[in-house]
A and B are shown apart, each in its own frame.
Chain A
Amino acid sequence: MSGVTMNEPLVADDVPRASRPLRQPRLPRWTPAALAAASVALGTGIGLGAGLNSRIQWGLIAVLLFVAGMYALAARVEGRRQAKDRLATSLVWVCFVLAVIPLVSLGWETISRGSKVLDGNFLTHSMAGVLTIQPGGGVYHAIIGTLEQVGIATAIAAPIGLLTAVYLVEYGRGRLAKAVTFFVDVMTGIPSIVAGLFILSFWILMLDFGYSGFAGSMALAILMMPVVVRSTEEMLKLVPNELREASLALGVPKWRTILKVVLPTAIGGIATGVMLAVARIAGESAPIVLLVFGSQLINNNPFDGAQSSLPYYIYEQWAAGNEASYDRAWAAALVLIAFVMILNLVARGIARWKAPKGGRR
């Protein structure tokens, strides 16, 4: 067809030909590691020499030295394109390190400072009769509060969230389902303090109930519902249609099909979603400040009177502002993180154990 054009060269003579040697000068493989070590040493040296008192400054100097040095070296030895590639690689590594440092520090601080006063006594005593400037006291009342509030919130939010998800996946067509889907998304983004304000205006200011663990539970439930709906929805969608059809074809009514076939198939994933949601609300403190009010004493009744909770306890002990209370704050933070992490790990364990075959990525 256009064989004519093949007689002339594809590239005009005045264009430089891309006939490049395969062997390009490369920096040795150990260059980045060596340069990183040198930069850190130099950064520390400069920091010490100039008397900079913040390690953050030392680190920034080292990072700048490394990124610039790598670029300059590569540009000189390997050429501009390789240098750009090296620059991107070093920046990506720097991002990684930048992110890891605060997170490692967070974990380290919590564990090392938190383990100071964390013992059996701390876990089994309340703050009754303990002045904030005194050492001693514990989190027992806060643990009770957290367990009760989170438990009630889950008891409210899990069934509603689950049924909503069932509605959306198994029945939902038309405008109502669309509206629900949209508002579940909207609800996911509600700041926890706003949920707290809502219950405050409705339950406490209008209906004139007092502060209680239950009021906090309702705010937590609002935060939890959309998370449960979303994760349950995802899991139900993974249940193969053939299963439903097989059951319906046997003459099993739809509601029994859902209860006996669909939900059991997806139960692992649903449980995982619920536990992740529990882990999320267990750390919420903003609604507690507004609705549960905080207390130094053990109050086993979530429906009457102020309670404490672990996140609130941390805030309160921090606000007291002395060494003894800081120690308690860190210890409570350690307890809270351990609780949340265990929930997370268990949730992921369930997910792996109960994964529907072939349905999961």
Chain B
Amino acid sequence: MAKRIDVSGLSAFYGAHKAIDDISMTVEPRSVTAFIGPSGCGKSTFLRTLNRMHEVTPGGRVEGKVMLDDENLYGPGVDPVSVRRTVGMVFQRPNPFPTMSIYENVAAGIRLNGDRVRKSDMDAIVERSLQGANLWKEVKDRLNKPGAGLSGGQQQRLCIARAIAVEPQVLLMDEPCSALDPISTLAIEDLIGELKERFTIVIVTHNMQQAARVSDRTAFFNLAGVGRPGKLIEIDDTERIFSNPSVQATEDYISGRFG
């Protein structure tokens, strides 16, 4: 169910502005990879190139290759819609569909596909997805209530349930806890630890403790200056990055000397 991501020579642009420059890395399956770095270093942009969401932004353009196992996401004839079904995403701010109930939110991805799913099967998928997101116990009695009525942390877990309901290979998370309180954050972090057994997970975070807690590998991004493109400085096992990084800038950032 989980695939390896192999990025080589990837650059992304907003119109004429180059946001990230020539990034190559490998993301291991069934593990958590964290992206850290100062604001504006392009880590979120890079994350959005992994499911072709970057090109949704006006003027967004990508050069380079992203291999999902043996298939290039940017190869000719590849349908971005299929890519996004295979590579799921959770956003910075919880964004359940405001007009849909909790149940419909989770079922939305499957319904989109137009597969004829029996009601009982759909019920099962919704229940398992909500359980997978550690939300089932809290919402099982109000599945038909609007998703927007939940607390922020619950909404974010609902979004995770929605993303995993379509059984993606990879789950991208763009600062999923930055809008949440510490208790909800903890719940999400626990959940990430469970989900990595089934999915390849990439998480962007501003919080270095969080990266240290949840991730197996960590990538550090930096930019040379304002208006310059972001670059990948290094990627290594999380333990090494936080104890003995091979690049001075990484150590400076982690020890709080800048950023």
Contact = CB atoms under 8 A, between A and B. Distances in A.
B2 interface: no
Nearest to B122: A15
Interface in B187-206: 190, 194, 197-198
Given A1-B190, A12-B124, A22 B131 contact: no
Interface string B49-81: 000000000000000000010010101011101
B78 to A, nearest CB: 5
B7 to A, nearest CB: 16
A5 to B, nearest CB: 4
Interface string B111-152: 011110100010011001101101011000000000000000
Contacts of B132: 5-6, 10
For chain A, what secondary structure do more than half of its interface residues adopt (helix, strand, loop), or is it mixed?
loop
A10 B129 contact: yes
A16 interface: yes
Contact of B79 (A2, A3, A15, A22): A22
Contacts of A2: 131, 134, 136-137
B82 interface: yes
Nearest to B127: A5
Interface string A75-100: 00000110000000000000000000
B164 A10 contact: yes
A23 B198 contact: no
A22 B78 contact: yes
Interface residues of A, number: 24
Interface residues of B, number: 36
B86 interface: yes
A18 B85 contact: yes
Nearest to A10: B128
B140 to A, nearest CB: 12
A50 interface: no
B83 interface: yes
Contacts of B112: 81
Nearest to A80: B114
B174 interface: no
B129 A22 contact: no
B194 to A, nearest CB: 6
Nearest to A21: B82
Nearest to B187: A1
A219 B81 CA distance: 57
B167 interface: yes
A253 to B, nearest CB: 46
B171 interface: no
A241 interface: no
Nearest to A23: B77
Nearest to A5: B131
A20 B77 contact: no
B125 A15 contact: yes
A22 B82 contact: yes
Contact of B71 (A5, A14, A22): A22
A80 B116 CA distance: 13
A361 interface: no
Contacts, number: 74
B132 to A, nearest CB: 6
A18 B128 CA distance: 16
A18 B164 CA distance: 11
A16 B115 contact: yes
Nearest to B168: A18
B138 to A, nearest CB: 11
Contacts of A21: 82
A26 interface: yes
Contacts of B75: 23
A24 interface: yes
Most buried by B among A22, A26, A81: A22
A56 interface: no
B85 A6 contact: no
Contacts of B166: 18
A17 interface: yes
A24 B121 contact: no
A14 B121 contact: yes
Interface in A15-58: 15-26
A18 B81 CA distance: 13
Most buried by B among A2, A20, A21: A2
A26 B79 contact: yes
A22 B86 contact: yes
Contacts of B136: 2
A10 B197 contact: no
Nearest to A6: B194
Contact of B125 (A11, A20, A23, A80): A11
Given A2-B134, A17-B167, A23-B75, A11 B128 contact: yes
A196 B86 CA distance: 64
B190 A11 contact: no
Contact of A15 (B71, B121, B194): B121
Given A11-B128, A14-B121, A18-B167, A1 B78 contact: no
A3 B125 CA distance: 17
Nearest to B131: A5
Given A22-B73, A23-B77, A23-B79, 6 more contacts: A6-B132, A6-B198, A11-B167, A18-B115, A22-B71, A24-B78
11 contacts: A1-B190, A3-B194, A12-B125, A15-B121, A18-B167, A21-B82, A22-B82, A23-B82, A24-B79, A80-B114, A81-B112
- 4 closest pairs, A vs B, by CB? A24-B79, A5-B131, A10-B128, A23-B77
